[in-house]
Amino acid sequence: MDGTMKDEIIDFILRNRISTTEVADCLGKSGAIQGVKPLNRAKFAVGPVRWIYAYNESNWEMHDQIRNIEKGEVVLVEPFDCNERAIFGSLVAKYLLLYRQAAAIVVLGHLRDAHTLIKENYPIWLHGVTPIGCYNTMNRTKLDGKIIHNRMEKYHESIAVCDDSGVVVIPPNNINNEFLEKLNFIEEQEDIWFDCIDRRKWNTYDTVCLKKYLDRSERDQIL
């Protein structure tokens, strides 16, 4: 994995505030994490994914893993057999976002202390909230190694983009110059489409379906 290319893609998305919708389009209309919604509105975050897990209604192992979170990472927490208990609340959220300087928190499950998380306006995406938390007890058995291996292959060296529409993950095999060119193309295409609708007063059929702006005479007038 070319770390420079990953940094370039993150920087391009951040500077141009490319939406999850546009990123998903570049991925062939895929990449969204299902069921995850923003806790607070008007938040935007992008960064390398750090996958973290919790299991068996315990967050003990989660506390151990988050000690090494790096600045700018999107912390993706996935619970197993936690029965919709909150994985953590405001204490961990503050530690991750303020002291470890994570870019965002994404939880494929529930959190608690919603009143504080909302008041602090934290960049958090999750399935839901509940007052019932996990236990802080060490598990006697380890999480299935196959699950860990599978998730590491899926999320290691990936990039997460988060906004009001949800969360989209760019997999490692798409972190290359070709994908960066796709992002640049879709940005230019969006600008052209809105110009056609707003300034030229075209209908969406001519703009999106027929792409009449690709005709040389029309293109010359637009540009």
Output the pLDDT for position 216.
55
Would you call 128 exposed, middle or buried from its count of C-beta atoms within 10 A (0-12, 13-18, 19+)?
A: middle
Virtual torsion, Cα 111, 116, 119, 121, nearest 10 deg: -40
User: Of the candidates 8, 13, 33, 36, which has an alpha carbon nearest to the alpha carbon of residue 23?
Assistant: 13
Tokens of 216: 């040389």
In the structure, how many helices (H) and strands (E) does the chain have?
9, 7
Global confidence as pTM:
0.91
Q: Give the 3-state secondary structure of residue 135.
A: strand
Q: CB-based contacts of 63: which residues, under 8 Å, 6+ apart?
A: 92, 136
Q: What is the pLDDT of residue 29?
A: 96
The 8-class DSSP code of residue 145 comes to H
Domains present along the chain, CATH in parentheses: 3-173 (3.50.30.40), 177-222 (no CATH)
Q: What is the pLDDT of residue 20?
A: 98
* Number of C-beta neighbours around residue 151 at 10 A: 16
Rounded to whole angstroms, the Cα distance separating 80 from 143 reads 9
pLDDT of residue 217: 53
Q: Which amino acid is at 108?
A: L
- Beta strand ranges found along the chain (DSSP E): 37-38, 45-55, 74-80, 104-111, 124-129, 159-163, 166-170
Structure tokens at 68: 């090494």
Tokens 């141009």 belong to: 16
Tokens at 4, concatenated = 């420079």
Paired strand residues for 55: 58, 80
Q: Are 23 and 168 in contact (CB under 8 A)?
A: yes
Return averaged pLDDT per consecutive 10 residues of the chain, 223 residues in all: 85 96 97 97 98 98 97 98 97 98 98 98 98 96 96 96 98 96 92 92 93 71 51
pLDDT for res 215: 82
Q: Which pLDDT belongs to residue 53?
A: 98
